[in-house]
Amino acid sequence: MLAIIGGSGLTQLANLDVSHREVVRTPFGDPSGALTFGRIGGQSVVFLARHGYGHTIPPHMVNYRANLWALKEAKAGRIVSVASVGGIRQDLVPGSLVIPHQIIDYTWGRSSTFFESGVSQVVHVDFTYPYDEALRAELLRAAEAAGETILEGAVYAATQGPRLETAAEVDRLERDGADIVGMTGMPEAVLARELELPYAAICVVANWAAGRADSRDGIRFDHIEAILQAAMIRTRNVIAGLCSEEFCPS
């Protein structure tokens, strides 16, 4: 079963044929909301809104461990994360879709591992390549099949939030090699790795990062909603493509 974690702009999947919802409890507390089960095309899907279905949970307070644990318990076999980001790299203009390939983690104070109590020994996971390469490739092929333009490769800078970054901080992120900036990429990705769940992301560029282009003098919040709405339609088309018979696991 495919799991979709929806971020800002994607609190529900309009193309999901819903069968039922389940309220789940985990050893790590409550997830962001009930799990919504259904089908898209030929694929069984479980959907979870990262920030809650009313978009009430800020990024630094998301219970990432409960979310990932709940999806694992629901028998999800792979996870696609959808997240809105700010564009740093020149070609990542607002409205772009991109499949990131790397992460730099600037977050702090978040519960970022399942391996911290009751374990018999210290556990390390390999995180050289934080996104599942096979799932990334499937997303790219699904986008092509759906006729949607999606960019391959970006370094995601995960910042703490909930405030946006200063222009100087974005300059630093660029010097560090970041192409996009968001607030939810970590620890979500590493928790999926700890649970051995293939994980990849579709990032929607909602705005230029601070100090860039039309965000040079401040973020234009009045423009973001319209950009997200249009881009999320395209994102749902990519997800629908991924759920077609061609990409359903045998």
Does the residue 248 lie in any domain?
A: no
Q: Give the tokens for residue 172.
A: 């630093």
Tens of pLDDT, residues 15-50: 788 899 999 999 999 999 999 999 998 789 999 999
Residue 100's CATH number: 3.40.50.1580
Does the residue 250 lie in any domain?
A: no
Q: Which percentage of the chain shows pLDDT scores above 90?
A: 76
Tens of pLDDT, residues 53-107: 888 999 999 999 999 999 999 999 999 999 999 999 999 999 999 999 999 999 9
Does the residue 249 lie in any domain?
A: no
Say how many domains are in the chain: 1
Does the residue 64 lie in any domain?
A: yes
Does the residue 150 lie in any domain?
A: yes
Q: Dihedral of CA 168/173/174/180: which sign?
A: negative
Does the residue 114 lie in any domain?
A: yes
pLDDT of residue 114: 92
Residues, the chain, total? Answer: 250
Query: What is the distance of C-alpha 69 from the center of its chain?
Result: 16
The whole-number average pLDDT for the span 115-123 is 79
Does the residue 156 lie in any domain?
A: yes
Tens of pLDDT, residues 133-187: 999 999 999 999 999 999 999 999 999 999 999 999 999 999 999 999 999 999 9
The whole-number average pLDDT for the span 108-127 is 87
Counts for the chain of helices (H) and strands (E), in that order: 5, 11
pLDDT of residue 250: 47
Residue numbers of the domain that contains 215? 2-242
Does the residue 32 lie in any domain?
A: yes
Q: What is the spatial distance between Cα 26 and Cα 63, in angstroms, rounded to a whole number?
A: 11
Query: The pTM is what?
Result: 0.92
